[in-house]
Amino acid sequence: ADIVDGTGSPAFRGDLAVEGGIIREVGRVAPDSASRVEVDAAALARSPQKPLLLCPGFVDIHSHADVALLARPQHLPKVMQGVTTEVFTNCGLGFAPATEDSLGIQRSYLRALFGDDTGVDWNWRTVGDLLNHYARQGTGVNIAYLVAHGPLRTAVMGMQARPATPIELEQMVSLLAEAMEAGAWGLSTGLWYAPMCHAGFEEVVSLARVAGWFATHQRDYGPRLFEATQETIAIAEHAGVPAQLSHLQLGGTQHRGRGPELVEQLDRARRSGVDVAWDTYPYGVGSTMISALLPAWAAEHGAEAALRHLADPDASSKIAEHINGLDRDWSSTWFLGLESEDAGTLEGVSFEQAANSAGCTVGEVVCRVLLSERMRACYAVNHTDEPDMIAFMQHPAHVFGSDGLHLPGKTHPRLHGAFPRVLARYVRELGVLGWEEAIHKMTGGPARRLGLRDRGVLRVGLAADLCLVDRDEVRDTATFASPSTYPEGIPFVWVNGVAVKAGGQPTG
């Protein structure tokens, strides 16, 4: 096979030797070497001349695998597409640290995003406790944990819709410092989501400074995108830490074609010495929970309180009025991840179409769906045109992530297809990235960005996380109609030297 080492350097013909989960040789390896990596020759015998690439396993810098790794530790949606390291908890959405009450609040409020949690033992309190859960159970991939801003805030002050007091901020800082000592890699914020949307600038700066690295779902990607981006830059500058701008996108038609302008805004900050970079997923469609559209007062006390508001005619009317007043294109926003029989017919239907069919406003139909689904409902929305996506991904400061959501019903196809889609669409079909460049943006790039020194690159002494890719055949197969199908053209994947996918099939 040709070896693509994850650094962005040109591919070269060679072999690779692994022993004890560690890369021992790269390049010319003696055929009789006991540690020479071997694949199942029978699985490839039909096409002995296949154009195969051996590269590092993919590092997903933007994952939401918190619950999935506990409920389904084999983690097939990612293993099958070559991911060997998951970086989570992103967007400030997570479950530790926690009190007994705050864990219940977060669990019910976020169930729409995290899917089936059957069999999960919800008894942790600290990040250290949660990391021990993963370690005791074992996971099919490596993990790097970010401390989420949401549970930090909720553990200290619930879902209250107000800024933190100095004492409350001090408590959050203490919890975050404890989590970093326990093995977390940084902080994630989600300043668009409750309760984090009530956090002031100084709160985020204080937390980012303690964490030493932060990823952010910005306060806005729509009308106030450029202002929100400037806030991210200012947080990084004042805290003196690297900022990772999560899933960079252009929300709303008013920003169409402004991708290069946004990149220039970020480049100005970089030239002035601010360490800001970004990631994207290879789709111009996003997805999140519908409950994020609720007004602050409706979400202030968690999911159960929100459901009581939705069931109350007066409160529901006010919620609907708030949603109707949002600056959104409801014709390009559609229902996703619905479970109940009543709402199932709306799966894939735009909010505008659903409202017209029901003879009501968008706000009213959204309230009905949230109530019938008991808040476990998501939506998808068109955002960035492909030329703008390409402007984001061609920049050296960019890396790829999936933002894959483990929804209870149909999910966004990025969960099963993000990484092979990069190679199929943007390397082989469009040619806007080279093989080595794209693979770097999925391996060595994100590993270096987060500070993972022992993986992401094929180098002697580093972890043997490997992926074998067929350049002609690699492709995503997941679609919105059929989102859970596995990709093609990735026959083998190894995590720490152990095959987790062989001959195109999971090993266990």
Whether residue 302 is contained in a domain is answered as yes
What is the spatial distance between Cα 80 and Cα 74, in angstroms, rounded to a whole number? 10
Domain count, the chain: 1
* Residue 217 domain flag: no
Look at residue 369 and tell me if it is in a domain. yes
**pLDDT of 40 above 60:** no
Asked whether residue 150 is assigned to any structural domain, the reply reads no
DSSP state of 163: P
pLDDT digits (tens, 9 = 90+) for 122-148: 999 999 999 999 999 999 999 999 999
- Is residue 120 in a domain? no
Cα gap 216→243, rounded to integer Å: 7
135 falls within a domain: no
Token pair, residue 158, equals: 């619930």
Name the residue among 64, 319, 296 with its Cα closest to residue 194.
Answer: 296
In contact, 33 and 25? CB cutoff 8 Å? yes
pLDDT tens string 417-462 = 999 999 999 999 999 999 999 999 999 999 999 999 999 999 999 9
Q: What is the pLDDT of residue 46?
A: 42
Q: What is the token pair recorded at 81?
A: 């597409």
Spatial strand order in the sheet of 398-400 = 58-60, 83-88, 142-148, 186-190, 214-217, 243-245, 276-280, 398-400
Which domain covers residue 356, as residue numbers? 290-381
CA distances 101 to 93, 107, 151, 165, 166, Å, are: 16, 10, 11, 20, 22
User: Across the beta sheet with 2-3, what order do the strands follow?
Assistant: 12-13, 2-3, 52-56, 466-470, 492-495, 498-502, 505-506
Please work out, in degrees rounded to the nearest 5, the angle formed at the alpha carbon of residue 350 by the alpha carbons of 348 and 352: 160
E-strand stretches of 45-100: 52-56, 58-60, 83-88
Q: Is residue 370 part of a domain?
A: yes
Model pLDDT for residues 170-218, shown as the tens digit of each residue: 999 999 999 999 999 999 999 999 999 999 999 999 999 999 999 999 9
CA dist list (Å): 488 to 36, 247, 424: 25, 25, 10
Average pLDDT, the chain: 94
Contact, 442 vs 399, CB < 8 A?
yes
- Asked if residue 367 is part of any domain, the answer here is yes
d(Cα 372, Cα 412) in Å, to the nearest integer? Answer: 21
Percent of the chain scored above 70 by pLDDT?
95
> Which of the four pLDDT bands, split at 50, 70 and 90, describes residue 253?
confident
The pair phi, psi for residue 302, each rounded to 5°, is 95, -175
Cα torsion 293, 298, 304, 309: sign: negative
Q: How is residue 335 written in tokens?
A: 């229902």
Q: What whole-number distance in Å separates Cα of residue 458 and Cα of residue 456?
A: 7
The 3 state secondary structure assigned to 9-25 is CCCEECEEEEECCEEEE
- Which residue intervals of 55-97 are DSSP H helices? 68-71, 76-79
- pLDDT-derived band of residue 118, with 50, 70 and 90 as boundaries? confident
